[in-house]
Amino acid sequence: MIEVAMERVVKRYGARTVLNGIDFQVEPGEWFGILGPNGGGKSTLLQAMAGVEPIDVGTVKLSGKPVGEYSRKALARQVAVLQQDALPPVGFTVQEVVEMGRYPYQNWFGDEAEDAAALVDRVIRWLKLEPLRERPVDALSGGERQRVALGKAMAQQPKLLLLDEPTTFLDIGFQLEMMDRIRLWQKECGMTVVSVLHDLNLAAQYCDRLLLLHEGVIAGIGGAGDVLQEDLLERVYGTRPFVVSHPERGVPQILLAGGVHDE
């Protein structure tokens, strides 16, 4: 497990401040969700956690160590990133892509101290990718491709998994399947998960805590019941929602009213 700490983080692109004084902590083993409108800095925040986006002010720490002090391979052994379209068509097979997750553990010759074949096979079977093992990734459906991307991340054996809107292009069934598999994996390994999500209802069902980002600052942070408040959501998203309780899980769920009404 790994702890994430963002301390007074500021990120600018030219004259535009994308993140302004961001300060929070993600506990080890927690699933932490980042919400907010488009252009509010969500993906930039995730990239700063991953160490791929330098910040202008403040500190990003993983388990007490600034992320910039990790070597690239050492960081890759700690952190995996799963994006909404993580696997562009490249001609590799499913087996080859999952095996790419072992790169952080290989030497210059592509060898590992221990044979990872059993781990790769276990990941492929767990994700039900066995029939697709030799198929090129570019021949797969969107849902299958995301399962392969998840398999690559699993083979990496990270302590921190960063999800950047991984369900955006998936239908409802595949969205739930993806989130359920990540939850099972997280519980089995004690992994910390941080996810950027557009779907507030999915976030409420799967995340332990939520952060609502608006125009580069934290508008709300806490449990789903604390953050998914009608007045707060209206202020951030510019539309009035209805917040109801999930009939089975009891977490807040969002219903939207109609759009523009003629007078």
pLDDT given at position 184: 92
pLDDT given at position 258: 62
DSSP 199: -
Backbone angles phi, psi at 242, to 5 degrees: -110, 130
Which two tokens mark 259? 């759009």
Say if CB 198 and CB 30 are below 8 A apart.
no
- Distance (Å, rounded) from C-alpha 21 to C-alpha 26? 16
N-to-C CA span, the chain = 55
Nearest to 201 by CA among 245, 165, 231: 245
Q: Which letter, b or e, does each residue of 111-124 get, where b requires 16 or more Cβ atoms within 10 Å of its Cβ?
A: eeeeebeebbeebb
Backbone angles phi, psi at 40, to 5 degrees: -90, -5
The structural domains of the chain, with segments of one domain joined by +, span: 4-238
DSSP 183: H
How confident is the prediction along the chain (263 residues), in pLDDT tens digits per residue?
789 999 999 999 999 999 999 999 999 999 999 999 988 899 999 999 999 899 999 999 999 999 999 998 889 989 999 887 656 667 899 999 999 998 888 776 566 656 788 999 999 998 989 999 999 998 888 888 888 999 999 999 999 999 998 887 778 888 898 899 899 999 988 899 999 999 999 999 999 999 999 999 999 999 999 999 999 999 999 988 999 999 999 999 999 876 554 44
The per-residue DSSP string of 231-249 comes to HHHHHHHSS-EEEEE-TTT
Answer whether CATH 3.40.50.300 is correct for domain 4-238. Answer: yes
pLDDT given at position 261: 45
Q: What region does 190 belong to: left with phi over 0, alpha with psi -120 to 50, or beta?
A: left
